[in-house]
Amino acid sequence: MSEQIVTARNLARHYEVKQGFLSAPATVRALSDVSFDLRPGQTLAVVGESGCGKSTLARLVTMIEEPTGGELRIKGEAVTRDHWASLRSSVQIVFQDPYGSLNPRQRISTILQEPLKINRPDMSAEERDRLAREKLALVGLRPEHYDRFPHMFSGGQRQRISIARALMLDPAILVLDEPISALDVSIQSQILNLLVELQERLGLAYLFISHDLSVVRHFCDDVIVMYLGRVVEQGPSKEVFANPRHPYTKALISATPRAVPGSGRKRIKLQGELPSPMDLIEGCPFAPRCWRVTDQCRKSRPELSGGAHGIACYNPED
């Protein structure tokens, strides 16, 4: 389908890690069997516990790393190493840490122009300068900020600078790896508003990684819920939040704290051990912590099924 700007089919990324001098290397299955489509103007959220492979997925989509399995297509082209250079400018990433991701010794002007210097070496200095100033204005910063250093900005302003830098090459896709979790609520909403506005104006597609389900619910069209490197539930965010079917999704939603003191809600408490991605698990990865577990779940892994709102579970909630 030409309408999709990103298609991922059964993406996987496994790492070999050494465990001491003598023992055989172990395999970390950071990501397995992830499939999704992303259209222009659409926001796809990826949620899930820490270490479930969200950043790994972000690194594959931004071509920082190569998948060890599956297929990734961007703008209809298969993503292979020899296509990286030509495709890379269409996908840009914004990282969580607004402090660490900007070089403290470079002025904002230099930071913004750098992607152009690398990817468009033929562009004139005047043109680079003009584009950098244009993007600075686009993210709501002022012309006098142009020659300042990163430490002179607040966390929210730095995150705007990171977004401006990501927009320098006019990407079609922005990967946002927890872009707002380090920021206070009022700045979070500024950044979210900025992203909404940019999406409406430029038709950007977002892959939005977040731990904050109240933000995902507010902001995203579709959602992927991952557990230990695999998708356990996937579908339109409205439906997934209204009718979560995988027990892990249900636990996530029920554990999301609400800004209402003394609401005295009951949340689902997960018992049991969190498996390590180094273990080879036969059954459902969530089985050791699941309250609906049966023998079948321990023996074989349920596949993702169910069409538009898919779940990987033998005994889903109804």
Partner 1 sequence: MSLLEVRNLTVEFATSAGQFRAVEGVDVTLDKGEVLAIVGESGSGKSVSMLAVMGLLPWTATITADRMAFEGRDLREITPAERRKIIGKDIAMIFQEPMSSLNPCFTVGFQIKEALRQHLGLDRKARHNRAIELFEQVGIPAPEKRLNVFPHQMSGGMNQRVMIAMAIACNPKVLIADEPTTALDVTIQAQILDLLLELREKNGMALALITHDMGVVAETAERVAVHYAGQKVEEQPVAGLFGRPYHPYTAALLAALPERATSRILPTIPGVVPGQFDRPAGCLFAPRCAHASAICQTRPPLPRGADEGHARCHTPLLPDGKTVAAPIEEVSQ
Antiparallel, parallel or unpaired: β 77-78 and 91-94: unpaired
211 binds partner 1 (CB under 8 A): yes
First to last CA, the chain: 32
Give the separation between CA 283 and CA 296, rounded to whole angstroms.
Answer: 8
Identify what 196 binds: ligand ATP, partner 1, Mg ion, none; CB under 5 to 8 Å per kind.
partner 1
232 binds ligand ATP (CB under 6 A): no
Smallest gap from Cβ 297 to partner 1, in A, equals 18
Cβ–Cβ contacts within 10 Å for residue 104, how many? 9
Query: According to CB under 6 A, which residues from 28 to 57 bind ligand ATP?
Result: 28, 30, 50-56
Note whether 118 and 203 are within 8 A (CB): no
- Specify the residue, 48 or 115, whose C-beta has the smaller distance to partner 1: 48
Smallest gap from Cβ 147 to partner 1, in A, equals 15
CB-based contacts of 289-298 (< 8 A; 24+ apart in sequence) = 289/248, 290/247, 290/248, 291/247, 292/247, 292/317
Q: Which of 64, 123, 202, 270 binds partner 1 (CB under 8 A)?
A: 270
Residue 172 amino acid letter: A
Identify what 294 binds: Mg ion, ligand ATP, partner 1, none; CB under 5 to 8 Å per kind.
none
Binding mask 28-67 for Mg ion (x = CB under 5 A): ---------------------------x------------
The contact set with Mg ion (CB under 5 A) reads 55
